[in-house]
Structure formats: C-alpha cells, structure tokens
Amino acid sequence: MATLSKHGKEIGRIEFIKKTLVYFENGDILEDTGFGWKMYGKLKDGVDPCNQIQIMRDIHKNKLSTIPGLSRYHELLCDVPLSKRWMLIDCIHANPQDPDGVWSDANDVAGIGVSIEDVIEMCKLYLAFSTRSNRASHNKLRFELMEK
C-alpha cells in the first residue's frame, strides 16, 4: 500500500464515482478505490503534472456534463465516503426501482448513513441516465446492423 507523504508535494485530486486519483509534482499518480492508496501510474518524463491534471479535470468535467443527471449523481455519491461508496452503487444498480429497499440496504446492512431523499434522487437519476445510455447503445447497434 502506498503512502501519500512519500511521493512529494500533491498538486491535485480528481474524484471519480468509484475512485480518487492524486497527482504529485514528481509525476506519480496514486489511486484510492476505498481500500487504501495504490500506485496508479507515473507521467512520462517531460510531461508537466500541473498541465496533465488540468487536462484530466477538463475531460472528467466534460464527461459529467454530456450525460444529463450524471453530474448530480456524481455529486451525491461523492458525499459518501469512498470506502463505502461502492456498496451504495451496488445497491442502486441492483434495484433502482426500489429506493426504499436501497436505503434500507445502505443504512441497515452497510451502515452508510445516507438520507432517504438522497437515495430517491440517486435512483431516479440512475434510471434516467442508464436508460438513456442503454437506448443510445441499442440504437447505435441497430444502425450498425442496418449498414451491413
């Protein structure tokens, strides 16, 4: 397991739905998926870490803004500690039509401590953008098959 302090000065973090990446001045990139820090990678010599983290932030921000509801879903999930976030995501993905069941599993079983209002909103958002992306994938596949 990696230690943050051993890699020099931290220049920035990017928080994704399922992980956090930390960039350092020396080019090291560490990752935490909720189970401790691990070495994720190292930037090539000559690549400016400050510039690279800004590029990655822009890409992440763009991805969140292209799918309606994903940004708010991300915001709500990031309020949950990373070590327990994966359990909440699994609960939502398993049964998004039953927010009460998701809330019960998240609080009673996993001990996450998320409000019922937030769970209801996350389930609605997940249903909205997952249905939209599945429909888009289906239409793309159908179009590709029609071309053949």
- In tens, the pLDDT along 93-107 reads 999 999 999 999 998
Domain ranges in the chain are 4-65, 68-147
Pick the closest to residue 38 from 82, 78, 73, 80 (CA basis). 82
Which residue type is seen at 89? I
- Which pLDDT score is estimated for 69? 86
Does the pTM surpass 0.85? The reply is: no
More confident residue, 122 or 8: 122
Other Cβ atoms within 10 Å of 100 Cβ, number? 12
Pick the closest to residue 96 from 127, 129, 132 (CA basis). 127
In the predicted structure, residue 145 carries a pLDDT above the cut 60: no
- In tens, the pLDDT along 28-80 reads 999 999 889 999 999 999 999 999 999 999 999 998 888 888 899 999 999 99
Hey, which residues does 23 pair with through a beta bridge?
Answer: 12, 29
